[in-house]
Amino acid sequence: MSFPHEIFKAYDIRGIVDHSLTNDMVELIGCALGAEALSQGVNTFVIGRDGRLSGVSLGESLAKGILSSGCDVIDIGQVPTPTLYFATKEFQTGTGVQVTGSHNPPEYNGLKMMINGTTLSGELIQKIKQRILDQDFVQGSGTLEKREMLSAYRDKVVSDVKLKRPLKVVIDCGNGVGGAVATELFRGIGCDVTELFCEVDGNFPNHHPDPSQLENLQDLIAEVQKTGAEFGMAFDGDADRLGVVAPDGSVIWPDRQMLLFSRSILEATPGAEIIFDVKCSQILPADIEAHGGKATMWKTGHSFIKAKLRESGAALAGEMSGHIFFNDRWGGFDDGLYAGARLCELIAANDQSASDVFGALPNTINTPELRLEMAEGEHYALMEELNQNAHFENGAVSKIDGLRVDFDDGFGLIRPSNTTPTLIMRFESHTEEGLQRIQGQFRDLLISTRSGLELPF
């Protein structure tokens, strides 16, 4: 069988189980990870898995590969990805692997990896691939230990987050692994919880576990309105991302969640730095700076954001996909459950109702993510041409991740996906006329660069 180069993505390793992602391949990845860790002076991995049906066998293959290098393995079983990150801190290894397909369909699975405190992405993942191709392994015999970490993780969140009053909330785990702990956690901090799809089921029988897509929030919206809850929270398949629904059924997308979180952080830590990704509303940096903070825009991707956070020591980071990283009282890793708990704390401390808090957040006229599907590799070539041809008067151009142009009344973005051969676009403005003008300028750039494109706007 030919080597599955395509599973080595920008942020993680991911593929279709028993097709591109086999037990044998995962064992080889384990061998490579073990050799790489030893080269950095690290000899212990924590491993966990989400609720996917293939997780047990893939986890066993991963452990087998790591152990064969001479590294030890602490297996913490079926846990959310944030619990794996938490465990690497508790055991002071800074090194771990979560077997997870995140928000992908049931037939997928994958690996999120960190070594010596660094989440693997980009060139570091390619380095693991090269070790496999070169058979650059070491031989040894590590030891396997099984530990239970869910209760310690839950207790840590409950001890950190304090509610000034009880809250009535709905939580939708989408049958993802967050359901293994979410109900206990939110009841533990003082919430009256209505559960939706909190049974862990790797078939995802109710809806896809991806809160970044509006269609996956419909059950939560209906339940919030039916129960009169103060708000609803949805988690993705491995619970490292958060979705939020207001009492009126409107969605509070992550860049607007970040408005609330950043204001709260800046009240406690004046002047703090806050990182956001290129897809976020321009309202966010303006609001951060208006509240005395330092706003830093960075590349999309949880691995890239986490690396920037580690380098800068910022107090908070977040991206439009729903990954939120608290680095003040928490460990600087993306944690949808903890972000949800902090939202509860913030709402409970406010004299206004949740409805009024969410209703007061500034908003814009904006598009969802618009996608231009292309042939494999072609989107990178077109992105390079667009960057060369880009000339925008009265706009501030950023090329840190694709092409983002900020105007006085909005912004436009085109960036290449790191996971599929797709150009992703997003536009916002304070007025409908402004939105049309900004889209028109980007349309002109695209068509003049390559005629015949079927644009999604």
Largest CA distance in the chain: 66
Residue 193 sits at φ, ψ, to 5 deg, of -105, 130
Amino acid 376: pLDDT: 85
Q: Could you say which of 222, 251, 280 is where a domain stops?
A: 251
Amino acid 420: pLDDT: 85
Whether 199 and 71 map to the same domain: the answer is no
Q: Which residues pair with 396 in a beta bridge?
A: 406
Record the pTM.
0.97
Whether 50 and 40 map to the same domain: the answer is yes
Beta strands at 72-78 and 144-146: parallel, antiparallel or unpaired: parallel
Amino acid 419: pLDDT: 80
The residues, any chain, with a CB within 8 Å of residue 279's CB and separated by 6 or more, are 255, 300, 319, 320, 321, 369, 413, 415, 424, 426
pLDDT, one tens digit per residue, over 407-424 is: 999 999 999 998 889 999
Whether 144 and 178 map to the same domain: the answer is no
Whether 78 and 190 map to the same domain: the answer is no
Whether 43 and 128 map to the same domain: the answer is yes
Range of the domain at 411: 365-449
Q: What is the CATH number of the domain that holds 219?
A: 3.40.120.10
Residue 356 domain-assigned?
no
Whether 260 and 281 map to the same domain: the answer is yes
Whether 273 and 236 map to the same domain: the answer is no
Residue 360 domain-assigned?
no
Whether 13 and 47 map to the same domain: the answer is yes
Residue 404 domain-assigned?
yes
**Catalytic position from the list 61, 102, 262, 264:** 102
Residue 120 domain-assigned?
yes
User: What tokens were used for 158?
Assistant: 């409950």
Whether 243 and 260 map to the same domain: the answer is no
Q: Could you say which of 206, 234, 251 is where a domain stops?
A: 251
Indicate the length of the chain as a whole number: 457
- Is 102 catalytic? The answer is yes
Amino acid 396: pLDDT: 96
Whether 289 and 277 map to the same domain: the answer is yes
Amino acid 189: pLDDT: 98
Handedness of CA 330, 324, 411, 404 (dihedral sign): positive
* Amino acid, single-letter form, for residue 320: M
C-alpha–C-alpha distance, residues 106 and 83, integer Å: 21
The residues, any chain, with a CB within 8 Å of residue 3's CB and separated by 6 or more, are 133
Residue 384 domain-assigned?
yes
Amino acid 147: pLDDT: 98
Q: Could you say which of 282, 313, 332 is where a domain stops?
A: 332
8 Å CB contact between 7 and 14: yes
Number of domains in the chain: 4
Residue 343 domain-assigned?
no
The pLDDT profile of the chain, 457 residues, written as one tens digit per residue, is 699 999 999 889 999 999 999 999 999 999 999 999 999 999 999 999 999 999 999 999 999 999 999 999 999 999 999 999 999 999 999 999 999 999 889 999 999 999 999 999 999 999 999 999 999 999 999 999 999 999 999 999 999 999 999 999 999 999 999 999 999 999 999 999 999 999 999 999 999 999 999 999 999 999 999 999 999 999 999 999 999 999 999 999 999 999 999 999 999 999 999 999 999 999 999 999 999 999 999 999 998 999 999 999 999 999 999 999 999 999 999 999 999 999 999 999 999 999 999 999 999 999 999 999 999 889 999 999 999 999 998 999 999 999 999 999 999 999 999 888 999 999 999 999 999 999 999 999 999 999 999 999 9
Amino acid 1: pLDDT: 62
Whether 264 and 216 map to the same domain: the answer is no
Amino acid 377: pLDDT: 83
Whether 23 and 39 map to the same domain: the answer is yes
Helix-helix angle 150-160:336-349, to 10 degrees: 20
Residue 350 domain-assigned?
no
Residue 317 domain-assigned?
yes
